[in-house]
Amino acid sequence: MFKALAGLAAVSCLVFAGDLQAGTLENVKARGQLKCSSTVGTPGFSIADANGRHTGLEIDFCRAIATAIFGDPEKVMIVPLLPAVRFTALQSGEVDVLFGTTTWTLGRETTNGSLFATVTYYDGQGIMVRSGVINSPKELNGATVCTNQGSTTELNLTDFFRTNGLKNEIVAYSTQEEALQAYVSGRCDAFSTDKSVLYAFRSKLPDPEKHAVLQETLSKEPLAASVRQGDDPWYNVVKWSSYVLHAAEEAGLNSKNVDSVASSTNDPNILRLLGKEGKIGASMGLSNQWAYNIIKKVGAYDEIFERNIGKDSPLKIDRGLNASWKKGGLHYAPPIR
């Protein structure tokens, strides 16, 4: 009897796991649209124009996933979320995939029921102050530091100040924009969040040169896409759609040359990537042109980096750690075969 019950439990678990694994990709296809989260507004990563259209590095990752599924980068609904509610929105099904300059941590994978896919941007927390006042965060003893709620920044600040024996007041606001305005108005002596965000917000201030991002980095902040645990097929779609952007850069492909390369190359790796050989897409429930469509309609990682936050953008952030491994950076795509 016990063996029978154990067998029934095992079958029940398999059925339940199968139900979990069956869901998101099929739901997205049936809906005809991907629901993708973003920040409420971070220049270079996710920002809406006067017509409500979002652009940014993470928005292009959203469009890459939509393109993998539908062949159309516009079949995506961008859902701006505050940091404090983003994981709840993911677990409730309000969004299919979570971006929002979200840091990949052990705790978020073990307590929030989420899994992180590839890193979209290697970042680190920094501090912005008024120019010429101090040169190091270690000089902030007794200062008031503004940041936003529901993120890793509060804990990072607490850890840094504790480690260095500093006593400070940390004031957390609902959004990064509110924290920035508190800093600008003089409510805070410093403003702290990811360095990429600091540079983005600094560029929007009336007198950017009056504010400096201190050189010291307080933490590691690998920003990554997150999905619900228990849905491996969907996790694969999100993860490998992201890797295509890096694989394209590694292969020297981009939205402008992909057609000419596809018609002239004998490289089997590129032929597989572009769907000319093999059936890689079918194993994920996608068309065999899924990767070609991403490259053609969204671009390679270097393209989306430069136009959103790099040399072709107002932020002009250097590639640094976010370069391809071929150029000394950390981005590296596993073989797509």
User: Is residue 216 in a domain?
Assistant: yes
**Does 296 fall in a domain?**
yes
Is there a single domain that holds both residue 211 and residue 242? no
Q: How far is CA 2 from CA 7, 10, 186, 285, 334, in A?
A: 8, 12, 69, 39, 45
Q: pLDDT value at position 12?
A: 38
8 within some domain: no
Q: What is the pLDDT of residues 25-37, one digit of tens each?
A: 999 999 999 999 9
Does residue 9 form part of some domain?
no
Asked if the model's pLDDT at residue 137 lies above 90, the reply is: yes
pLDDT at 5: 38
How many folded domains does the chain comprise? 2
Q: What would the pLDDT profile of 252-264 be if each residue is shown by its tens digit?
A: 999 999 999 999 9
269 and 210 both lie in a single domain: no
Query: What is the per-residue DSSP string for 13-54?
Result: HHHHHHHHHHHHHHHHHHHTSEEEEE-S-BTTTBEE-TTS-E
**Residue 9, pLDDT score:** 41
Domain that holds residue 153: 124-220
> Which of the listed residues 220, 236, 261 is the one where a domain comes to its end?
220
Is the pLDDT confidence value at 149 over 80?
yes
The reply to whether 235 and 320 lie within a common domain is yes
Residue 39 maps to a domain? yes
Same domain, 227 and 270: yes
The verdict on 294 and 233 lying in the same domain is yes
Task: Band the pLDDT of 19: cuts 50, 70, 90.
Answer: very low
Residue 74 lies in a domain: yes
Return the CATH number at 161: 3.40.190.10
Residue 300 and residue 229 share a domain:
yes
Asked if residue 316 and residue 237 are part of one domain, the reply reads: yes
Average pLDDT estimate for 278-302: 95
Q: What is the mean pLDDT of the chain?
A: 90
Residue 313 maps to a domain = yes
95 and 130 both lie in a single domain: no
Q: What b/e readout covers 11-30, taking b as 16+ CB neighbours within 10 angstroms?
A: eeeeeeeeeeeebbbeebee
Last residue of a domain, one of 204, 220, 236: 220
Q: Which of 156, 194, 171, 178 is nearest to 82 (CA)?
A: 178
* 109 domain-assigned: yes
Same domain, 115 and 136: no
Over residues 196-222, the mean pLDDT reads: 90
Element (H, E) at 211: strand 211-213
pLDDT higher than threshold 70 for residue 56? yes
Residues 129 and 247 in one domain: no
pLDDT score recorded for residue 7: 43
> Is this structure's pTM higher than 0.85?
no
High-pLDDT (> 70) share of the chain, %: 93
Does 237 share its domain with 320? yes
Is residue 229 located within the same domain as residue 312?
yes
Boundary (domain end) residue, out of 177, 202, 220: 220
